[in-house]
Structure 1
Amino acid sequence: MVVVPLTTSNEMQARQMPKGVPETVESARGKLVYLFLQFHEGATLDELRDGLDLQRITLFSVLKTLEERGVVDRDGETYVTARPA
């Protein structure tokens, strides 16, 4: 029996290796949230809360700052890293 991978090794590595955090993200929590969103290709507030074990009020503050700095966008209930201009 031949097993065919759904993705190539390079595609998996590219998905698993975050591209980095923009210089405008200074706080440790901001970097953590940004990298989580980047790795998971977006997340809801509940997914962030469960995945990072942070309180909602903390996440609201961090996400607001990231949105104001233009590095995170909101698409409905999902937060995503902003695409470079």
Structure 2
Amino acid sequence: MAVVHFSTDQRKHTGITHIAVEAATVRELVRELSQRYPTLNAHLVETSATAVAIDGELIPDPMLEALTETSEVHLVRPLAGG
């Protein structure tokens, strides 16, 4: 199962630092997380520019990206600056 690591902001919605989720793609993973943690889903929608990193690599268009049983997934809030 893929392991999802939550940021400090996301932990306010999940109450945990990480969770193992069975999902074949990032889309399935997000769907499962949304069902388990509805307020997390609202948080991700509010921060719609959330990026996804899989095994330390930022994925530009992640929704169809395949996950393996050893995937480490981070939902990363983008940095702002100028």
Q: The TM-score by the shorter chain falls in which range?
A: 0.3 to 0.5
Q: With the length of structure 2 as denominator, give the TM-score of the two structures.
A: 0.34
Structure with more relative contact order (C-alpha pairs < 8 Å, separation 6 or more):
2
**Structure with greater strand share of residues:** 2
Q: With the length of structure 1 as denominator, give the TM-score of the two structures.
A: 0.33
**Structure with greater helix share of residues:** 1
Kindly name which structure, 1 or 2, has the bigger radius of gyration based on alpha carbons.
Answer: 1
